[in-house]
Chains A and B, each alone.
Chain A
């Protein structure tokens, strides 16, 4: 066993990373809850958002946290249009088609980015990226602590939207009754995509960007969504935190690349044996 001196920071860091995972999963689960589709373009859209956050700083000098304010509505609009004008019409109301269309979108977005920017990995050098918060038992990176806080706020806002506004009520009604309302579908897809813009801005100060970055995150997000129960907002957050800790501990014991396998194995096990999620009710 490792001593608490190593274990506690690992767990805390896992929680911080897990919060951002939770936010990405939140977008995915929101879309699933209403549209009953798995959005295979989620990872590619995250990659696009990360590039957007990167270039907003590089060319416009926008700090990632400020960029979030601009990018969130932008990605909401992007998601809205994708669902309204591409996915919805192209799928002819068939689930199998939706799978293929979102996969096609993922391939297009990811490879457009590869074509435009090459396979290079880029990083932002922000002067506060290495600032730390001293908790006594652990040093935590400041940007990740901020990220944790933002995720909690976003989740709260999203919850308020869903439970208080008319649109939110409509979304939940559609989720329950499966009414065919193109606008509500598109709003939901937009909200899910907007989550990615925020997640990207939270990631970019301490992470890097390349055309494949979304894939790693989205498989984790799939795992979280399955774990937390498809369509469950709380499940996504709790699942995200849990997976963050698991990954951190797996990385500690097994090393970086095998730590990833830990997540996949858990993902497959959950899918096989508890597809409705650990918290969700039986489908």
Chain B
């Protein structure tokens, strides 16, 4: 399969980067910032789930770790916000590597893998809801300090550009993985793990590396969340909502594709906003829509929106060639 080139990625990011210059609307910027955040988190899931075929139901474990480490280092230990953010990503990667090492060494896959990742996220959620260092049931508020060196800004535009930059990095990482030997091994694991093993791929190590990268990207989303909303608690950090959004974005957009999570996040978040517009801010209704979309996509468009577009293009090309062929013949 041929993915997009680096030039495509640069183009898309450049177009998105102009949005704050075109509109002063905070509503638009806030919407896009959250959508890009979900795209980032979803891109993390996509590395492991989309390319490696290992469906995690507990990516909240990495999101929450990134978020909590960013918040705790700042508020409890006075660490600079940017350094705390970087360490949050590292901590997320570490948690990913640890969970990966345990689960893959035990040979867990399929349903079992989904189940055990879900359980890890739940354990962390319960621990965070009682441990004093995470603020237990109250959560952690980040002190307002609107300076760039504190990773806080007067307006929304810088936040938007930062999350866009993070997303750009993740897109390039995934693009590089896609064309690398490691990427080929990862896809081989997804398609047929036994066959991959038979031809000499160290499948456990490939999956472990994928999980570590996946966790790091998702943890970056968690750290950004804290800086943007200046608050975190156990339900947000380790709750099932983020595990679901993490897998929803790539599945809706196109699982195992570079732009899938971005397309999916934009579509899913638009649906969520439309629901709110129509039905008011009713708790739960947006998630009802998300769950429904998940089922419909699996049932009718297993390759997501990207797959539908590819189909459409192929059909169009066939049509054109048949029309041209007739004209010439």
B256-296 vs A, Cβ < 8 Å mask (1 yes, 0 no): 00000000000000000000000000111101101110110
Complex interface residues of chain A between 193 and 227 (CB less than 8 A to chain B):
211, 215, 219, 222, 226
* B130 and A272 contact, CB distance less than 8 A: no
Bound CA–CA A91/B111 (angstroms): 14
- Please, which residues of chain A bring their CB within 8 A of the CB of B123? 261, 264-265, 268
Decide if B73 is an interface residue (CB 8 Å cutoff).
Answer: no
Chain A residue nearest to B190 in the complex (CB): A96
Decide if A150 is an interface residue (CB 8 Å cutoff).
Answer: no
- Please, which residues of chain B bring their CB within 8 A of the CB of A264? 119, 122-123, 126
Q: Which bracket fits the contact residues of A? A: 35 or more
- Please, which residues of chain A bring their CB within 8 A of the CB of B282? 115
Bound CA–CA A264/B283 (angstroms): 28
Chain B residue nearest to A32 in the complex (CB): B111
Chain A residue nearest to B290 in the complex (CB): A107
B95-121 vs A, Cβ < 8 Å mask (1 yes, 0 no): 000000011001110111011101110
Contacts from A to B (Cβ < 8 Å): 37-38, 40, 86, 89-92, 95-97, 99-101, 103-108, 110-115, 118-119, 211, 215, 219, 222, 226, 257-258, 260-261, 264-265, 267-268, 271-273, 275
13 pairs of residues in contact across A and B, judged by CB atoms under 8 Å: A90-B298, A96-B55, A99-B114, A103-B244, A103-B294, A107-B244, A108-B292, A110-B284, A115-B282, A119-B283, A261-B123, A265-B123, A272-B102
Given A115-B285, A271-B119, residue A108 in contact with residue B127 (CB < 8 A): no
Q: Of the candidates A89, A104, A273, A275, which one forms a contact with B291 in the assembled complex, judged by CB atoms under 8 Å apart?
A: A104
User: 6 additional contacts, CB 8 Å, given A260-B126, A275-B106?
Assistant: A38-B114, A97-B298, A104-B291, A111-B291, A115-B282, A115-B285
Bound CA–CA A271/B111 (angstroms): 11
Q: Which bracket fits the contact residues of B? A: 35 or more
Bound CA–CA A235/B207 (angstroms): 32
* B285 and A89 contact, CB distance less than 8 A: no
Q: Of the candidates B107, B108, B122, B299, which one forms a contact with A89 in the assembled complex, judged by CB atoms under 8 Å apart?
A: B299
Bound CA–CA A106/B302 (angstroms): 19
- Please, which residues of chain B bring their CB within 8 A of the CB of A90? 295, 298-299
Q: Which of B103, B107, B283 has the most CB of A within 10 A?
A: B283
Q: In the complex, how many angstroms separate the beta carbon of A17 from the nearest chain B beta carbon? A: 19
Complex interface residues of chain B between 145 and 171 (CB less than 8 A to chain A):
none
* B295 and A268 contact, CB distance less than 8 A: no
- Please, which residues of chain A bring their CB within 8 A of the CB of B244? 103, 107
Contacts from B to A (Cβ < 8 Å): 53, 55, 57, 102-103, 106-108, 110-112, 114-116, 118-120, 122-123, 126-127, 129-130, 240, 244, 247, 251, 282-285, 287-288, 290-292, 294-295, 298-299, 302
Chain B residue nearest to A41 in the complex (CB): B291
Q: Of the candidates A97, A107, A110, A273, which one forms a contact with B106 in the assembled complex, judged by CB atoms under 8 Å apart?
A: A273
- Please, which residues of chain A bring their CB within 8 A of the CB of B287? 107-108, 110-111, 114
Q: In the complex, how many angstroms separate the beta carbon of B241 from the nearest chain A beta carbon? A: 9
Given A105-B291, A107-B287, residue A219 in contact with residue B119 (CB < 8 A): yes
- Please, which residues of chain A bring their CB within 8 A of the CB of B55? 96, 99-100
Query: Lowest 6 CB-CB distances: which A-B pairs, in order?
Result: A107-B291, A114-B284, A90-B299, A104-B294, A108-B291, A111-B284
Q: In the complex, how many angstroms separate the beta carbon of A192 from the nearest chain B beta carbon? A: 15
- Please, which residues of chain A bring their CB within 8 A of the CB of B292? 104, 108
Chain A residue nearest to B54 in the complex (CB): A96
